[in-house]
Amino acid sequence: MAGGRALLAFAVLIAASAQHLQREASFTISLRAADNITVTIKLKPGVLPVCRIHVKNGPRFELKIRPGENVTLIFTCNTPEKYFMMEIQKNIDCVSGPCPFGDVHLYPPGLPRLNRTFIWDVKASTKAGLELKFSAPLRQIHPGEICPDLVSYNINSCIDTATVNIGTFCRNGSVSRVKLLGGVILSLHLPWNLTLTTSGFNIANRSSIKRLCIIESTLKGESSIMLMSPNYPLGFPEDELMTWQFVVPSNMRASVFFHDYSLSNCERKEERVEYYIPGSVSNPEVFKLSDSQPANIAGSFNLSLQGCDQDAQNPGILRLLFQVVVQHPQIDENVTHLVDLSKERNMTVTIHFEGWPRRTPLVSEPMCLICKDPRSCDRVLTLASGATYKISFLCKDLSRLRITAEKGISCVGSLRWCESKIHSLSVPKTITQLPVQLHKFIWKLIAPELINIEITSPSLKLRQHLPEQSCNTSYSYSIVSATPETEMNVGIFCPGGAIEKIQLRNNITISLKTFGKGFVNESNHQDLKMSFVPHIKDECTFTVSPDSKAKTYLQTPNSLYGLPPYVSISWYITVPSQQVARLGFSTDRMGIACETGRAYVNIKEQMPGAEEIVRREDELLPQPRNMHHNFWVNVSNCKPVDPMQLTLKFWVTFVEKQIDLAVILGVLAGAGVLAAIGLTVCCVKKKKKNQNPMVGVYNANVNTQMPGKQRLFQKDRRTNESHVYAVIDDAMVYGHLLKESNGSVTPEVDVYQPFDGPMGSLPPSPPPFSFRKDIKRSPNTEEPPLLAETDRDTYTFAHQKSGELEDSGDGNEKNNGDTSMSLLENKEEDSLEE
Ligand SMILES: *[C@@H]1O[C@H](CO)[C@@H](O)[C@H](O)[C@H]1NC(C)=O
Ligand SMILES: *[C@@H]1O[C@H](CO)[C@@H](O)[C@H](O)[C@H]1NC(C)=O
Ligand SMILES: *[C@@H]1O[C@H](CO)[C@@H](O)[C@H](O)[C@H]1NC(C)=O
Ligand SMILES: *[C@@H]1O[C@H](CO)[C@@H](O)[C@H](O)[C@H]1NC(C)=O
Ligand SMILES: *[C@@H]1O[C@H](CO)[C@@H](O)[C@H](O)[C@H]1NC(C)=O
Ligand SMILES: *[C@@H]1O[C@H](CO)[C@@H](O)[C@H](O)[C@H]1NC(C)=O
Ligand SMILES: *[C@@H]1O[C@H](CO)[C@@H](O)[C@H](O)[C@H]1NC(C)=O
Ligand SMILES: *[C@@H]1O[C@H](CO)[C@@H](O)[C@H](O)[C@H]1NC(C)=O
Ligand SMILES: *[C@@H]1O[C@H](CO)[C@@H](O)[C@H](O)[C@H]1NC(C)=O
Ligand SMILES: *[C@@H]1O[C@H](CO)[C@@H](O)[C@H](O)[C@H]1NC(C)=O
Ligand SMILES: *[C@@H]1O[C@H](CO)[C@@H](O)[C@H](O)[C@H]1NC(C)=O
Ligand SMILES: *[C@@H]1O[C@H](CO)[C@@H](O)[C@H](O)[C@H]1NC(C)=O
């Protein structure tokens, strides 16, 4: 045994030194005249000529050995493969002599180890067909793409003097045969360190194929292949015809997808594809390249590409890159789903793969097809309203599919006409009952200038998705308000909150997004409606009726980028009679400094003579305070100093009812009727009495305009039929006594003087700015910044493991661990899939 091992070691040594010797050893290349082979060794272009070839008559950088020659050569370096490459060209003439059909050999043997290209140049009559048959099938690649093993075949067809590149191929594919007409130049590229014993193909004589070429692919199991038209990405020859044949087992299904094509400018005839499909009664089936191509074909079929007579001046390019997918028949292939969109208007429903349209699925991914009829299937299917569809799915895993729908609602015509309709913003049942998850339902609400949009959720009411009150429903609405110049992300909302109504001044996009499967059930009671309303004053007005048991948080829109400059937002908060609301801000200050204009927070109870609390951006925000009547909160922005952004959050809760008692008692005490009274009540009242009276702040006849600013709204509040601002709750006659219990409040009198006027139900008056385009009319206001991305708020949705949203209650305290998932993460996940 030991001796054997020693022998083996010796043999390895010998082999190694032999290899080393071979490097410096000489090579003798002898070419028989009959083989008609020429060998050329030349320097790789661009390489430094540090290595040379030594032959009998001296050193050189290039060597050509012709048929019948014997040459002995030595390289002057150890690694000639770094500098030299080799071409072995064999001319085969089938026109003047007999054709050497059969297996093609890699001849001559014993060549130096260099990158090498074998070229077979076959001259043949155009009357006969030549067939190249590959023992191991090939895979077509894009020109310039490199095969993993660096072995590639290139096939060119030569008719007369014209050469057409049929394609470049790697090993390990499905292309088993290529039939050509006339001459062919086939080249095989091999890397220096790979020794192949056979070319892998043979040549056979065939009868004429009457077209440029036939490429045969044999697909055995589930597979997906890409193929290209000859010369791709350049043009397919003018007025040519070619065929791809697909050999598919009859128990498998094939589908064709065109990934890239272009058409030339045809003078006569039309560019088209024709299919021979087993079982079809209308063979050949003719399609335009722009058509959806046949799918779910049972068994072998063929596909022909027909060019046209091109316009000589401007021929254009006919080219085609397509995919053929072979799958097992799907269990549900015969199950049809009815999608009745006949009563819907201006709506499109798109069923698509996950990640569409940003992501293109990998060729290797299992495919999900959506079929309009048994053979018209595609990866993406768009259905338009006004018709009924019977669709089916060819897909192993329907959870890979999604639905995105869009509906446009516009007001064309008079406000009176538009106003008369209330549109329900709900996902039709015909969509929710499909076995595919709804990804998004988008409503595009479009109003002409001076007509605005109102969104209501009368029974469910909306909750603003904030860290303190994250959404736990299976769906949410993202509301984006857009002018032609800019976008404002109003926020993310879900059912089950306090917001009854949102009025918005601009065109609105509402996107319903679903989370998990719960939507199927929850979609049964959707409750979002919209209508067109007369022009409103603020950019956005919320009507909020807070739940007396919960704390309601509200936040200014566009929190990620801050409220746009000069924009004014109002909240109208209802306080049921007999109850007292408490209002507080989440921060002490607005947190901005203004570059132009001033920012204000105004708070005003809705009752005659109510004081208005006004805070400028350079002042402290009010302390938490009790509100006895319905009240307005208004936030109006200036143009903040960059990079400051205005985002304000406030909350409303209800305090115990005994406060009411305190007020009444206080009133009574003030009237001096009662002598003996609770000490605490007395104290409260005394404090109030010591305060400056605030009623005098108001000057009923001064306009809302800031000095120097042009008035933008021509219509007066009294004449614009606004029905936003509800009536006064006149029951609360004692309200004026319940003033700020915190003595620190001193109202600003000199800044601007809000208009109160006879209409007691007005919201506090913001400076008359807006981020709409009509601010351009004002010469001294700035162009608003472009707010590019909107769907980006980093709010956190808490998800249950089941995929449903979970109630995380107060977002500050509960941590959902690995089950929580933010919208941003969601977004990133989406983009990872791209
Ligand atoms: C060798 O190739 C040349 C060029 O194609 C051709 O003219 C010649 O007839 C060929 N000779 C043989 C023996 O095939
Ligand atoms: C080339 O060399 C081989 C042996 O190395 C010899 O058999 C053959 O006759 C030679 N041919 C020519 C044309 O010199
Ligand atoms: C040999 O082929 C390889 C792979 O195609 C390439 O990277 C290398 O540059 C080639 N060498 C020469 C000398 O052509
Ligand atoms: C072809 O595929 C087989 C098996 O899939 C693999 O072993 C072989 O390395 C592949 N060859 C090339 C050239 O990629
Ligand atoms: C050939 O050499 C290249 C490096 O030049 C290497 O990556 C490759 O694996 C080698 N191939 C074989 C078959 O040895
Ligand atoms: C090739 O086939 C055609 C008809 O199939 C025949 O006429 C021709 O003689 C064949 N040529 C050769 C070289 O076998
Ligand atoms: C295409 O298929 C049909 C039916 O199988 C067959 O008759 C026809 O000859 C085929 N055409 C080509 C070019 O392969
Ligand atoms: C679907 O229907 C076709 C035609 O009726 C039938 O050949 C096929 O087997 C059916 N597929 C399945 C999966 O049942
Ligand atoms: C249909 O919706 C589009 C937007 O999706 C909108 O531009 C168009 O005005 C709408 N048409 C009608 C009649 O509502
Ligand atoms: C809303 O869109 C319509 C149609 O595109 C446009 O005429 C109108 O000016 C837009 N409204 C606003 C406020 O941008
Ligand atoms: C939908 O509701 C039904 C009955 O109320 C229940 O059985 C089912 O599990 C629910 N589905 C989901 C996904 O929550
Ligand atoms: C969501 O949270 C609210 C309370 O915040 C609760 O009443 C409701 O049942 C929760 N809904 C779901 C689906 O968990």
Task: Report the chain's mean pLDDT, rounded to a whole number.
Answer: 78
pLDDT tens for each residue of 203-213: 988 888 999 99
Ligand that comes closest to the CA of residue 519: 11
Give the closest residue (by CA) to ligand 7 atom 4: 276
The pLDDT of 4-20, averaged and rounded, is 42
Give the closest residue (by CA) to ligand 4 atom 4: 172
pLDDT tens for each residue of 758-775: 333 455 654 444 444 333
Pocket test for ligand 1, best of 88, 93, 158 (most atoms within 8 A of CB): 93
Structure tokens at 573: 């908060």
**What pLDDT does 673 receive?**
35
CB 326 within 8 A of CB 244: no
| DSSP state for residue 714 in the 8-state scheme | -
Structure tokens at 636: 């109006």
Residue carrying the six token digits 């080799």 = 86
**What pLDDT does 765 receive?**
56
Backbone conformation region of residue 774, classed left if phi is above 0, alpha if psi is from -120 to 50, else beta: alpha
* Whether residue 70 has its Cβ less than 6 Å from ligand 2: yes
| Cα(97)–Cα(67) distance, integer angstroms | 17
* Position 781 pLDDT exceeds 50: no
Nearest CA to 712 among 765, 654, 653?
765
Assigned domain for 312 exists: no
Ligand 1 nearest-atom number relative to CA 93: 14
With 0-12 / 13-18 / 19 or more C-beta atoms within 10 angstroms meaning exposed / middle / buried, residue 16 is exposed
CB 703 within 8 A of CB 755: yes
Residue carrying the six token digits 């609301």 = 581
* Rounded percentage of the chain residues whose pLDDT exceeds 70: 76
Collapse the DSSP code of 36 into the 3-class scheme (helix H, G, I; strand E, B; otherwise coil) and give the result: coil
**What pLDDT does 768 receive?**
43
| Cα(198)–Cα(206) distance, integer angstroms | 23
Axis crossing angle, helix 658-670 with helix 679-690, rounded to the nearest 10 = 70
**What pLDDT does 26 receive?**
86
**What pLDDT does 587 receive?**
95
Structure tokens at 200: 């892998």
Which region among 276-280, 511-515, 752-756 has the lowest average model confidence (pLDDT)?
Answer: 752-756
| Cα(662)–Cα(673) distance, integer angstroms | 15
pLDDT tens for each residue of 381-399: 999 999 999 999 988 889 8
The pLDDT of 492-508, averaged and rounded, is 94
The pLDDT of 95-108, averaged and rounded, is 84
Ligand 9 nearest-atom number relative to CA 346: 1
| Cα(583)–Cα(521) distance, integer angstroms | 36
The pLDDT of 662-688, averaged and rounded, is 39
Helix H or strand E segment including 693: none
Which region among 33-37, 265-269, 491-495, 753-757 has the lowest average model confidence (pLDDT)?
Answer: 753-757
* Ligand 3 pocket, CB under 6 A: 44, 82-83, 85, 115, 150, 191-192
pLDDT bin (cut points 50, 70, 90) of residue 799 is very low
Size of the chain, expressed as the number of residues it contains = 834
Burial 173-208 (b: 16+ CB within 10 A, else e): bbbbbbbbbbbbbbbbbbebeeeeeebbbebeeeee
Q: Where are the beta strands (DSSP E) in 173-252?
A: 175-181, 183-190, 198-206, 213-218, 223-228, 241-247
Assigned domain for 436 exists: yes
**What pLDDT does 771 receive?**
43
Structure tokens at 656: 């115990």
Give the closest residue (by CA) to ligand 1 atom 13: 34
Nearest CA to 646 among 606, 668, 678, 616?
616
Collapse the DSSP code of 686 into the 3-class scheme (helix H, G, I; strand E, B; otherwise coil) and give the result: helix
Ligand that comes closest to the CA of residue 151: 4
Residue carrying the six token digits 């005003």 = 604
| Cα(290)–Cα(258) distance, integer angstroms | 8
Assigned domain for 154 exists: no
Assigned domain for 215 exists: no
SS (H, E, C) 282-308: CCCEEECCCCCCCCCEECCEEEEEECC
Pocket test for ligand 1, best of 38, 91, 95 (most atoms within 8 A of CB): 91
**What pLDDT does 294 receive?**
92
| Cα(327)–Cα(395) distance, integer angstroms | 10
* Ligand 10 pocket, CB under 6 A: 446-449, 483-484, 506-507, 772
Residues 6+ apart with CB under 8 A from 262: 316, 317, 318, 319
**What pLDDT does 511 receive?**
96
| Cα(39)–Cα(116) distance, integer angstroms | 10
Ligand 2 nearest-atom number relative to CA 30: 1
| Cα(17)–Cα(745) distance, integer angstroms | 98
pLDDT bin (cut points 50, 70, 90) of residue 658 is low
Structure tokens at 75: 């390289």
The pLDDT of 353-377, averaged and rounded, is 82
Structure tokens at 229: 């038209």
* Position 804 pLDDT exceeds 60: no
The pLDDT of 14-21, averaged and rounded, is 40
| Cα(503)–Cα(442) distance, integer angstroms | 18
For strand 401-410 and strand 437-446, is the pairing parallel, antiparallel, or unpaired?
A: parallel
Pocket test for ligand 9, best of 444, 451, 509 (most atoms within 8 A of CB): 444
Ligand that comes closest to the CA of residue 250: 8
How many C-beta atoms lie closer than 10 Å to residue 330's C-beta?
A: 17
**What pLDDT does 717 receive?**
34
First and final CA of the chain: distance in angstroms?
60
Q: Number of structural domains, the chain?
A: 1
The pLDDT of 609-631, averaged and rounded, is 94
DSSP for 534-603, please give it: E--SSSEEEEE---TTS-EEEE-S-TTT-SPTT-EEEEEE---TT-EEEEEESSSS----EEES--EEEE
Structure tokens at 393: 């799915």
| Cα(523)–Cα(426) distance, integer angstroms | 8
Distance 202 CA to ligand 3 centre (A): 27
Strand order in the sheet with 376-378: 337-340, 388-394, 369-373, 376-378
The pLDDT of 701-721, averaged and rounded, is 31
pLDDT bin (cut points 50, 70, 90) of residue 264 is very high
pLDDT tens for each residue of 294-311: 998 999 999 999 999 999
* Position 779 pLDDT exceeds 50: no
* Position 721 pLDDT exceeds 80: no
**What pLDDT does 57 receive?**
85
Which region among 134-143, 421-430, 477-486, 561-570 has the lowest average model confidence (pLDDT)?
Answer: 477-486
Collapse the DSSP code of 355 into the 3-class scheme (helix H, G, I; strand E, B; otherwise coil) and give the result: coil
Assigned domain for 220 exists: no
Residues 6+ apart with CB under 8 A from 490: 479, 480, 481, 502, 504, 508, 540, 557, 558
* Position 441 pLDDT exceeds 60: yes
Helix H or strand E segment including 103: strand 102-105
* Whether residue 618 has its Cβ less than 6 Å from ligand 12: no
**What pLDDT does 24 receive?**
57
pLDDT bin (cut points 50, 70, 90) of residue 425 is very high
Ligand that comes closest to the CA of residue 248: 7
Assigned domain for 345 exists: yes
Nearest CA to 130 among 105, 167, 96, 93?
93
Tell me the residue type at 439: H
**What pLDDT does 150 receive?**
95
Assigned domain for 437 exists: yes
**What pLDDT does 82 receive?**
93
Domain of residue 359, residue span: 330-450+473-492+507-518
Between residues 39 and 22, the one the model is more confident about: 39
**What pLDDT does 397 receive?**
87
* Position 714 pLDDT exceeds 50: no
Nearest CA to 687 among 616, 744, 760, 647?
744
The pLDDT of 668-687, averaged and rounded, is 38
**What pLDDT does 696 receive?**
26
CA 808, 813, 819, 821 torsion-angle sign: positive
pLDDT tens for each residue of 805-824: 333 333 333 333 333 333 33
Pocket test for ligand 2, best of 70, 71, 73 (most atoms within 8 A of CB): 70
Give the closest residue (by CA) to ligand 10 atom 7: 448
pLDDT bin (cut points 50, 70, 90) of residue 692 is very low
Between residues 737 and 365, the one the model is more confident about: 365
Distance 352 CA to ligand 11 centre (A): 25
| Cα(112)–Cα(110) distance, integer angstroms | 7
pLDDT tens for each residue of 568-611: 999 999 999 889 999 999 999 999 999 999 999 999 999 988 88
**What pLDDT does 412 receive?**
83
CB 219 within 8 A of CB 139: no
**What pLDDT does 651 receive?**
96
Assigned domain for 82 exists: no
